[in-house]
Amino acid sequence: MLPLSPSLSNPLCFRCRNRAVLVRKECGFIPKAMASSSAGTGPAFFNGFGRRDLVLLGLSSSLLVVAPSSGSLAEEELKMASVVDDINAYSYLYPVGLPSKNFMFKWVESRKPERYSSAAPLSPDARLRIVSERVDIIDNLIISVSIGPPNFQILKSKEKSSWSAKDIADSVLSDKSALRVTSTQRLAESSVLDAHSSDINGEPYWYYEYLVRKSPTKNAQDSNLYRHYVASTAERDGYLYTLNASTLSKQWTKMGPFLEKTVSSFRLLPPTENYVPPYKDPWRFW
């Protein structure tokens, strides 16, 4: 177990408003007095998690503990485990349990990491593909990583420094639906609540929160029941790498802060000899 040092800073800070909209703040440690002030100086990223950054180097330790500050959703330490995908060269953390409440997430790795070209396509034109996924069926949680080329009908420039977070969100969402519909119709299925970017180690990361009007559960009969997502996207080798984390909208207050921590931890890693770039043998299906 690796305790997090309060001296570490997180480049991203958010404030959850009444409708759980994320508001960007690039900051370090936020004093308690500031955390209780106006909307412009809200509490640190994801209910106190942003006061310390996860060190993603040396992820050989598979479990670490996040100790939330006072006033967070869970008033006890949260265990998180690491995922390192050498094939696609990325990593992230996901929640494992709350020991003091004897609560454990029930994750199942529904799709083990695989190279981009052998992953099943999400859309008919096969642009966006899920390269890994884990689900918690009991708590209705999904964490997935997808890879796909930018949609230059939305991103007018090939220079990524000019890309806005909202355009990145629209680019990814336009290729996300598995229905045989146009990109415009796919976008109409989703509502982006917030989008912003941050520079991490000299590379832009785009963060966004959105709702999808369709739920993959049998008991989601209510037309007002949405699926609530948070996502992080980064670019490498001309492809967008996106981590999506979601739950049902009615569970967002309870589960959302945990998923936000996962999204904030997503990083592209320096490629190793096991790395397979998306453009290598794109015709392969094994």
Nearest to 243 by CA among 273, 277, 213, 205: 205
Residue at token pair 């997503």: 266
Instruction: Tell me 44's DSSP state.
Output: S
Distance between first and last Cα of the chain: 37
Vertex 13 angle, CA 10 and 19, to 5°: 150
Residue 218 binned pLDDT confidence (cut-offs 50, 70, 90): low
Residue at token pair 């994320």: 22
> Is-contact 232 207, C-beta < 8 A?
yes
pTM of the model: 0.70
Instruction: Report residue 80: phi and psi, to 5°.
Output: -130, 145
Cα-trace Rg, the chain: 18
Average pLDDT over residues 34-61: 38
CA distance 78 to 3: 11
Give pLDDT, residue 196: 96
Give one DSSP letter per residue of 185-217, joined into a string: HHHHTEEEEEEEEEEETTEEEEEEEEEES--SS
The bridge status of strand 190-200 relative to strand 103-104 is unpaired
Q: Is the per-residue pLDDT at 51 higher than 70?
A: no
Q: Is the per-residue pLDDT at 9 higher than 90?
A: no
CA distance 173 to 188: 10
Lowest mean pLDDT among 47-51, 148-152, 162-166, 243-247: 47-51
Give pLDDT, residue 245: 98
Give pLDDT, residue 189: 63
Give pLDDT, residue 100: 86
CA distance 264 to 11: 10
CA distance 64 to 93: 9
Residue 236 binned pLDDT confidence (cut-offs 50, 70, 90): very high
CA distance 246 to 143: 7
Give pLDDT, residue 121: 66
CA distance 281 to 145: 20
Q: Is the per-residue pLDDT at 69 higher than 50?
A: no
